[in-house]
Structure 1
């Protein structure tokens, strides 16, 4: 009986130690996932390019993401505008003659507004002013924090309100990846009413996108993905399990163009279909068969431009 009690006690202590260790690892991961490092730090390589030792180190300590800095500026005339939202954000305003309206562009995770210049140029060519935004933690905006679209949604609203107050009536929102999630949350949670939204590869839920990152490293998702979502939300002041674009879609009734790459390893087709089915109003889904979670202009510039032109007035 005594031996059994000792075995049970030791087993409980071992399980407790494992549980504590998993939470410590999750805390490291979630902090690095939502806080960019110094811009001079080298970014952790793609999981497929890591050695076994590097993968183990990454699985324990998390991925190093250097702060995204703008590497170029628009080729034409532009104005730099700083807005006070829940963080101070920096934007580029680019005008064209006889504009039909304005498209606000929001970048993805680990990117900045300079990564959106190529798409801005296409919108300008189609007769729209553009307003390109650095989310908090990126480029010329404040801080090192990112919340994968949650707090960024308020920054979407700030930009929309700014242009509305300037008298712009025909405002379209464009977002890629995290930017599309922030756009959806802004429309759903804050009730802003753009003329339409164009969203590229939004994830279905925070939990699913974290699971996808573990899967790309061939690592089991349970229980670490859930712990990472929990601690990530706690560290950043929100309930991350409730950050679900699939649910945001139910409150979106404006015209929507949803773009997706069939070879996307970070967002599943199932997530896209659920999200699309939940959207209200006029909606269009376009699939690029050979594209992954990437800039669609790389392989589909002509087709992408035609799809955008067909959606916009």
Structure 2
């Protein structure tokens, strides 16, 4: 049989087109379900649960992406609180828990990705003992707030500003501070950058350096090749969520932060590298800044992993 170079070249072109289209189809789906929660009661997908799934189920998850249920508040405060609705498009939900001491100020708290304000209740207890009213906010798409969509801190900066305006209106005589976890920390940094918020202090737990870094780290943790694929995922996520993913960068935001800032990082964090946090800390222009590394802590449970270390860092900073 005579070899036909043009014939094989044509097949190679067709194969390349197929691979390009199919890979973009898969990444479009994954970008969508990463930023769009579903209104279903689904178990969390872990490595263990994946191992128990059939080959066909694994293939479906690989092609269409993993549906993530909208995070709900399954725990209520164990003390008196006020439920607050604020903002519009989207409408946000929050809890106000007052300190029993003479108030030093109001601390506005924002949670991380795919959790809700109930995850902040233990932090709020410590802060109220320190003399702060605490305002726990569900970011858009999370908890009791409106919607099912998240932009991993990009549009959530508007939620930070909405919460700030609310507290400024109803507690005008008290200074305002912020505490944010991961996505919440980056949301706060962006809000300070975008809206020039006048705050007394910032407490930022494990902020990621950029959205690109966060996606690359996720690919590495899942042992997925990081050549081109993360960029395509970010590209489609940017289109779906109307955001400039390249501009979503904590280093840029930090260069406008003159507010006293404490950054807390867990040494065992698998999602954010210490170099990222070091870079953000160095980029802050605040003359009062502190970086605390908790040796026993990870990412998702940074406070719970070392309550004493976290409390000591926060108390010494605010005191």
TM-score by length of 1: 0.95
Aligned equivalents of 2:238, 2:77: Cα separation in 1: 35
Aligned equivalents of 2:48, 2:246: Cα separation in 1: 28
Equivalence for 2:92: 89
CA apart distance, 1:190? 1.4
The question of whether the paired residues in 1 share the 8 Å contact of 2:298 and 2:305 is answered with no
- Post-superposition Cα deviations, 1:259-313, rounded to whole Å, max 9, x if no partner, equal 0011111111111111111011111000111211122232211121111111114
The question of whether the paired residues in 2 share the 8 Å contact of 1:26 and 1:227 is answered with yes
Structure 1 range deviating more: 152-161 or 7-16: 7-16
Equivalence for 1:124: 128
- Post-superposition Cα deviations, 1:208-245, rounded to whole Å, max 9, x if no partner, equal 11111111111111221111111011001111122111
Structure 1 range deviating more: 62-71 or 176-185: 62-71
The question of whether the paired residues in 2 share the 8 Å contact of 1:48 and 1:217 is answered with no
Equivalence for 2:108: 104
Q: Say yes or no: does 1:42 pair with 2:49.
A: no
Aligned equivalents of 1:86, 1:312: Cα separation in 2: 34
Aligned equivalents of 2:195, 2:248: Cα separation in 1: 15
Report the 3-state secondary structure (helix = DSSP H, G, I; strand = E; otherwise coil) of the residue aligned with 1:18: helix
Aligned-CA RMSD value: 1.7
Matches within 5 A, 1:17-96: 17-45=18-46, 47=47, 50-51=50-51, 53=55, 57-96=60-99
Unaligned runs of 5+ in 2: none
The number of residues matched between the two structures is 312
Q: Which of 198, 201, 223 lines up with 2:203 in the alignment?
A: 198
Report the 3-state secondary structure (helix = DSSP H, G, I; strand = E; otherwise coil) of the residue aligned with 2:19: helix
Equivalence for 2:11: 10
The question of whether the paired residues in 2 share the 8 Å contact of 1:204 and 1:271 is answered with yes
Q: 1:221 to 1:146 in 2, by over 3 A?
A: same
Aligned equivalents of 1:277, 1:299: Cα separation in 2: 26
Matches within 5 A, 1:172-183: 172-183=177-188
Q: Which of 269, 272, 296 lines up with 1:267 in the alignment?
A: 272
Structure 1 range deviating more: 81-90 or 133-142: 81-90
Structure 1 range deviating more: 162-171 or 26-35: 162-171
Q: Say yes or no: does 1:145 pair with 2:172.
A: no
Q: Which of 105, 115, 122 lines up with 2:119 in the alignment?
A: 115
Unaligned runs of 5+ in 1: none
Aligned equivalents of 2:220, 2:299: Cα separation in 1: 15
Over 4 Å off, 4+ runs = 52-57
Aligned equivalents of 1:95, 1:264: Cα separation in 2: 32
The question of whether the paired residues in 1 share the 8 Å contact of 2:265 and 2:292 is answered with yes
